[in-house]
Amino acid sequence: MDRQFDFSAKTPLVDRFGRQITYLRLSVTDRCDLRCLYCMKAQPDFLPKSELLTLEELGDICDAFIARGVKKIRITGGEPLVRRNVVSLIERLGERLGKGLEEVALTTNATQLDRYAERIASAGVKRVNVSLDTLDADLFSELTRGGRLDRTLAGIAAARLAGLKVKINAVALKGANEAELPDMIRWAHGEGFDLTLIEVMPMGEIGIERADQFLPLTVVREQLESRWTLSDLPDSTGGPSRYVRVEETGGRLGFITPLTENFCAGCNRVRVTCTGQLFMCLGRDGSVDLRKVIREEGAAALQAALDQAMMEKPERHFFDVSEGAGAAVNRDMARTGG
């Protein structure tokens, strides 16, 4: 494939609802070293490595998006740091900073972060989102099916030491971590970290009824307001979080509410999987196959594929976690990209 991309101003990516796409979430692997209960089955069916795009191909796709006005790229998985040599891709993207790209970020469970934090920071990454749903070691092991809390905490410490800004992402789970959410918020704010709470999403068949896991964040906010003062903030980091200041802790708290408060009207993002499938919506099945294009055609065809995707991007998702509703889409979160 012709890998020469023109980074001069081109037509921005705008969908048929007038939303400009400036944010790409790029999954580099569907594999993970944890098995979180809300994310995947106990024995997931990982893709054969032969189906994955090479790191060079993933970088070429990123270049195509940057050429069309994407300003932020977040590396996701699975757990992105389990992919061999993935930091080389992050370093390549770091070279694009100031040349159309404004930010490279990472979402991780932090189990590998103590090995890579310094190199990631040197590549130009400023912020990492760390998935952490509990500070109780036994519950952590239960929720992750055998994971070790100390590994994640060591990764967080390494990130801080490397100068990375850490944000904690916690999925609110009914009857599991519900009671300790205030303690998690207090801990995160005491460490100087933002924390964002996320409603569980019906992605993939995981062998557990979603209705049994779903904890509406409207309920969580009411519970938090019974003990603290929450002041709404206008802040935006380019994602779906809505932020408040917890006056008593001085920290910032985010809420991602795909079910109780739909946020699709301002959607500015798309997702590309490790196999090159471009999903225009997290909660819908429609996709465009970029792997075929990038392997068999040229840069112009890749740009045409992005234009096609804009015409197919839906207005919104239709997540439903009512009892018996099943998954909104068959692919799990790890395969889609978190």
Residues in the annotated binding site: 25, 32, 36, 38-39, 74, 78, 107, 131, 167, 201, 264, 267, 269-271, 281
Q: For residues 182 and 163, give the distance between their C-alpha atoms in angstroms, rounded to a whole number.
A: 26
Amino acid identity for residue 224 in this structure: L
- Which residues are annotated as part of the binding site for [4Fe-4S] cluster? 32, 36, 39, 264, 267, 281
Cα–Cα–Cα angle for 188, 189, 195, nearest 5°?
A: 60
Q: For residues 90 and 106, give the distance between their C-alpha atoms in angstroms, rounded to a whole number.
A: 9
- Which residues are annotated as part of the binding site for GTP? 25, 74, 107, 167, 269-271
* Run of H or E residues at 253: strand 251-256
Q: Which long-range contacts (CB under 8 A, 24 or more apart) does 191-194 make?
A: 191/160, 191/166, 192/251, 193/166, 193/167, 193/168, 193/251, 194/167, 194/168, 194/251, 194/252, 194/253, 194/254
Cα–Cα–Cα angle for 91, 55, 61, nearest 5°?
A: 90
Q: What b/e readout covers 308-322, taking b as 16+ CB neighbours within 10 angstroms?
A: ebbeebbeebebebe
Pick from 230, 202, 204: which is nearest to 218 by CA? 230
Query: What six digits make up the tokens of 172?
Result: 């609110």
- Which residues are annotated as part of the binding site for S-adenosyl-L-methionine? 38, 78, 131, 201
Amino acid identity for residue 8 in this structure: S
